Structure 1
């Protein structure tokens, strides 16, 4: 059985993903969690404090999902491709990435921080793997692994946006397979 705090955080995670920060009211959180106003404000002084806790948990869960793929055994380039092809509910978008379109989240350093840190972790881990792929001769040595890592993440996040705009997973899949094909081009000898 979840504690009241867990119920509030889990509910807020779901509502943030569905509605964004602006569209998530304290009343909606209380109603869905089955928790009264007094309980909510006893544990979290403000909506922003609860949203930050939910974002931190979502970021942590995202990192763990990605860690399982990127830190598994195998060829580093294959691990990056595995990350790109990681199963997701494409039309719902990224739990973290969707919040970056919310002006109140972006304007608040505390609300933006979990998003920034999660993306930084993914980018850094991708850069390490891409650098290792270069060392093994799987990618051209002259590429900037940090820039390439940022590109891989940007394609994935942008793919979500394109898919949601089209109400189809096809643009996401096309973007992912496009970057995969670029990563698999053999380096010139």
Structure 2
């Protein structure tokens, strides 16, 4: 792996583990096995490297989410797949955790990749629900945009509950709750 890629991969790992404020350029360089001059050859500083790592995380998450939302036959199946628990539930969302960091929340450049990703996720969930709504699978009076926002918010909040309890159980219960709002059979009307 070339130096630039090692730096991005190292920043990804450390951001998820320690957050932005808890990740030092020195720690990134050490994990990547590079010198300070190498990092600053590719990036103007920590924040530029963090943005590159956030975009890389977004690409990886998009592939996972696209696969999950394509599975199953009904909107409920697809949303259930999106909400399914993964092996990292107690670590939380790689990007969602970052916006809880004051430095990220107050920095437009650091926040932009996360905001773009959340918008993409919500739009992707919305597409699934809109298709189901148009096919009569969901109630005619359903606010699809509100439900797609709720599904995304639930997943992010469920990560927080699971991390707080150090158990995936709150995540499981939250998924059951949101799925109760999505019919499992054709809507009648």
Please indicate, yes or no, whether the TM-score normalized by the shorter chain is above 0.5. yes
Indicate the RMSD between aligned Cα atoms, in angstroms: 1.5
More deviation, 23-32/179-188: 179-188
Q: Partner of 1:71 in structure 2?
A: 70
CA distance in 2, matches of 1:33, 1:97: 24
Structure 1: stretches of 5+ with no match in the other structure: none
Deviation per CA, 1:81-135: give whole Å up to 9, x if none: 2111153410000001000101111111111111011110110111111122222
Higher helix share: 1
Q: Does structure 2 conserve the Cα–Cα contact (< 8 Å) formed by 1:77 and 1:133? A: no
CA 1:173–1:22 in 2, change beyond 3 Å: closer, same or farther? same
Q: Partners of 1:17 and 1:164 in 2: how far apart? A: 13
Gaps of 5+ in 2: none
TM-score, scaled to structure 2: 0.94
Residue 73 to residue 173, structure 1, CA distance change in 2 (3 Å): closer
List aligned pairs for 1:89-168, cutoff 5 A.
89-168=88-167
C-alpha separation between the residues in 2 aligned to 1:143 and 1:45?
A: 47
SS at match of 1:182: coil
Deviation at 1:32, TM superposition (A): 1.0
Q: Aligned-pair distance for 1:46?
A: 0.6
The two structures have a TM-score, normalised by structure 1, of 0.94
Q: Secondary structure at the match of 2:181?
A: helix
Q: How many residues align structurally?
A: 188
Distance in 2, Cα, partners of 1:142 & 1:100: 33
